Copies of this chain bind each other. A is one copy, B any other.
Amino acid sequence: MGWRRVTNDGVRNVRIPSVTVRRLPVYLRALSQLRQRGVEIVSSAELSRYTGYSSEQIRKDLAYFGAFGTRGVGYSAELLVQRIRCILGLDQPIAAAIVGAGHLGTALARYNIARDRDIRVTAIFDDDPAKIGLSIDGVRVYSAGEMQDVIRSRQIKLAIVAVPEGAAQRVVDELVAAGVRAVLNFAPVNLSVPDDVYVQDIDLSLELQSLAYYVAGAANSGRGGRHG
């Protein structure tokens, strides 16, 4: 499925499976926990325990970007964090926008702002006049009409779409026109975007419905539940 050439950090020139990219933040979190406990050198076996991924897989994922471990010893936790943050582009702050200040959009704003230091939500957009001008945890809600200007002037490249399904495609078209490159989409629709824009869908209804399958088939040989 998804691939991407590594040119970013110049280590190699191979294509990276998208599944690997999706695991990198998991490693980052495990490393941060380990470092808080004073760990400085970490093995792939230790990371495996923290993440649930196999040690071989972890080594293979990391090796895509170069050899930054020491044989017989392990990885420097600090170096590894630096490298992964660099690979993901988290070494410089990223501005994001949320479109839709309903229940979900508001919850996401508060949630994100509390958690993420690297990715900051700096603007929220909504078309409800009653909400425009409000501040959600210090971030201002702008009108839909201001969206393109604000996105462009702040060079926001990452957007979270939490609008009703009927509005989503129009919103995404505007976002893309204003320069957004990656979208986290909560609207239950199949958005169409240019090839060079990346959309990650999170569809809560679909997730719940597929879980129903596993509820019903209780007697079966299902996999234990890690990282579905």
Contacts and interface: CB of A to CB of B under 8 A. Distances in A.
A218 B182 CA distance: 9
Stoichiometry, copies per complex: 2
Contact of A212 (B90, B206, B217): B90
A212 B88 contact: yes
Given A194-B224, A212-B89, A216-B8, A202 B202 contact: yes
A208 B88 contact: no
Interface residues of A, number: 82
A221 interface: yes
A4 interface: yes
Contacts of A197: 224-225
A195 B219 CA distance: 11
Interface in A67-96: 87-90, 94, 96
Contact of A106 (B24, B107, B194): B107
Given A22-B206, A215-B182, A111 B118 contact: no
Nearest to A51: B190
Interface stretch (A25-33, A54-62, A125-133): A25-33
A107 B116 contact: no
Interface in A7-46: 7-8, 18, 21-22, 24-26, 28-29
A193 B214 CA distance: 14
Contacts of A210: 21-22, 24-25, 88, 200
A103 B107 contact: yes
Interface of A: 1-5, 7-8, 18, 21-22, 24-26, 28-29, 50-52, 87-90, 94, 96, 103-104, 106-108, 110-112, 115-116, 118-119, 157-158, 160, 181-184, 188, 190-202, 204-228
